């Protein structure tokens, strides 16, 4: 059994990160969950940051003919031979995503009773699979996405709004698939692994209502375009619920989830004789507030080495003009709250390799983070106030850069307390 080397804490944290990402590799996670081929055609439709890799796993393991269309984020393409892969913008939709959504709906509507739609859904599908509901322009849909991202709303709240502005999300794709058999394979990037929240649930029932969507808009004071407000106020038809005929015989299979990635990291740590405390795979909240709580917890404990692991999806309410996603903002707030504690090293990333809308996966901190920043002329508190965690960590070379990982099981945070 390998022992923990206290002289290489960052290498240890990197190993945990790699183990967490590997546990959600679609090429390994998808095959055990594939259904039997139907009498008729198999058409693969889907969206998300992991969807192209999921499609590749289908192609390599499918017994029979298969075709289809997948839309993924720019840079997340995994080339397939029989399933077409389209790249589009995330987190704010673009024309490529709109066109792909329109084509996916058309392909779904062309299926017969002997056919199967194999839907592949992962985080990111909400922005990538964008077809506005009738009466809402694409430009207004883009603006709503921008406003939601800056509002501080959590993923469940954001997707509640998105589902009620869409012709494809919130179960509408399932209606289009009828009368074909529908099987959805999902990689969870949401707290609680709720299928209705993953990618805004295009192929699953939606328990939320127009009233719920209006409540989110009002809660965060989001000044949505007039067409959107009118649609939310006068929604003619609710999204389909569980008793809708579209879901008769439909199947949903979760192929990878955040908890499994935390467990994989914990296994590596325990093998190195490090005590592991797994907080939760479902943490939500303002990134800087969660960071302060975690700092207090880590500093209060005695003994070591000790590791705190957590997942979930944190949020950032944009008040400044800087750049940086929730993981980098969490790390900047954590560094300030730890106040250069000599025992603590930490790392936080988004497992898809993209923290918010930047090119980094996240960031790392060491006991000398603040002192190195001061030597570089940086004011950590000012950077946090300006929501500029990216700029802060870029200046001291502590961004974590993985590139696209082709999966997405949300945030991975690790705090290591040395003895």
CA-to-CA separations, 167 to 119, 155, 347, 391, in angstroms, rounded: 16, 19, 39, 38
Angle at 97 between CA 92 and CA 98, to 5 degrees: 100
Architecture of domain 9-22+259-417: 3-Layer(aba) Sandwich (3.40)
Q: Which CATH number applies to 27-256: 1.10.8.10, 2.60.40.1220, 3.40.50.300, 3.40.50.10180? A: 3.40.50.10180
So where are the chain's domains?
Answer: 9-22+259-417, 27-256
DSSP string, 184-249: EEEE--SGGG-TTTGGG-TTS-----HHHHHHHHHHTT----HHHHHHHHT-SSPPP-TTSGGGTT
Query: Tokens 């796993």 label which residue?
Result: 57
Q: What is the pLDDT along the chain (419 residues), one digit of tens a residue?
A: 456 888 999 999 999 999 999 999 999 999 999 999 999 999 999 999 999 999 999 999 999 999 999 999 999 999 999 999 999 999 999 999 999 999 999 999 999 999 999 999 999 999 999 999 999 999 999 999 999 999 999 999 999 999 999 999 999 999 999 999 999 999 999 989 999 999 999 999 999 999 999 999 999 999 999 999 999 999 878 999 999 999 999 999 999 999 999 999 999 999 999 999 999 999 999 999 999 999 999 999 788 899 999 999 999 999 999 999 999 999 999 999 999 999 999 999 999 999 988 999 999 999 999 999 999 999 999 999 999 999 999 999 999 999 999 999 999 999 999 98
CATH topology agreement for domains 9-22+259-417 and 27-256: no
Pairing of strands 275-286, 344-350: unpaired
> Six-digit token pair at 200?
């805004």
Those residues with Cβ within 8 angstroms of residue 16's Cβ, 6 or more apart along the chain or in another chain: 265, 268, 269, 307, 309, 347, 414
CA-to-CA separations, 91 to 79, 147, 158, 176, in angstroms, rounded: 22, 11, 12, 25
> Six-digit token pair at 273?
């004789």
């Amino acid at each position: 059994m390998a022992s923990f080397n206290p002289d290489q804490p960052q290498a240890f944290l990197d190993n945990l990160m790699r183990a967490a990402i590997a546990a959600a590799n679609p090429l390994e996670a998808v095959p055990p969950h594939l259904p039997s081929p139907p009498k008729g055609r198999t058409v693969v439709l889907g969206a998300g940051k992991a969807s192209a890799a999921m499609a590749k796993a289908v192609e390599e393991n499918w017994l029979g003919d298969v075709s289809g269309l997948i839309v993924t984020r720019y840079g997340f393409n995994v080339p397939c031979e029989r399933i077409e892969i389209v790249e589009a913008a995330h987190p704010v939709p673009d024309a490529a995503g709109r066109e792909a959504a329109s084509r996916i709906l058309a392909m779904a509507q062309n299926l017969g009773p002997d056919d199967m739609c194999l839907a592949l859904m992962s985080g990111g599908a909400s922005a990538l699979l964008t077809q506005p509901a009738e009466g809402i322009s694409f430009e207004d849909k883009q603006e709503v996405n921008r406003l939601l991202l800056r509002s501080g709303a959590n993923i469940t709240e954001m997707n509640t709004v998105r589902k009620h502005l869409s012709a494809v999300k919130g179960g509408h794709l399932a209606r289009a698939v009828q009368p074909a058999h529908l099987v959805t394979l999902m990689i969870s990037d949401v707290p609680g692994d709720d299928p209705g929240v993953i990618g805004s649930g295009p192929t699953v029932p939606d328990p939320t209502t127009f009233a719920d969507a209006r409540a989110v808009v009002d809660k965060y004071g989001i000044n949505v375009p007039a067409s959107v407000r009118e649609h939310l106020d006068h929604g003619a038809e609710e999204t389909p619920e569980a008793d809708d005929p579209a879901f008769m015989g439909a199947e949903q299979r979760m192929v990878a989830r955040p908890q499994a990635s935390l467990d994989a990291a914990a296994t590596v740590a325990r093998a190195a004789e490090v005590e592991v405390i797994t907080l939760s795979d479902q943490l939500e909240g303002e990134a800087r507030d969660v960071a302060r709580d975690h700092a207090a917890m880590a500093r209060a404990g005695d003994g070591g080495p000790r590791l705190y692991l957590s997942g979930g999806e944190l949020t950032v309410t944009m008040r400044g003009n800087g750049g940086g996603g929730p993981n980098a903002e969490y790390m900047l707030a954590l560094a300030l709250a730890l106040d250069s504690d000599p025992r603590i090293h930490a790392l936080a990333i988004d497992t898809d390799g993209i923290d918010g809308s930047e090119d980094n996966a996240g960031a790392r901190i060491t006991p000398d983070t603040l002192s190195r920043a001061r030597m570089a002329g940086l004011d950590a508190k000012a950077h946090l106030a300006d929501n500029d965690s990216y700029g802060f960590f870029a200046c001291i070379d502590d961004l974590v850069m993985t590139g696209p990982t082709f999966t997405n099981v949300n945030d991975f945070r690790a705090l290591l307390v040395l003895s």
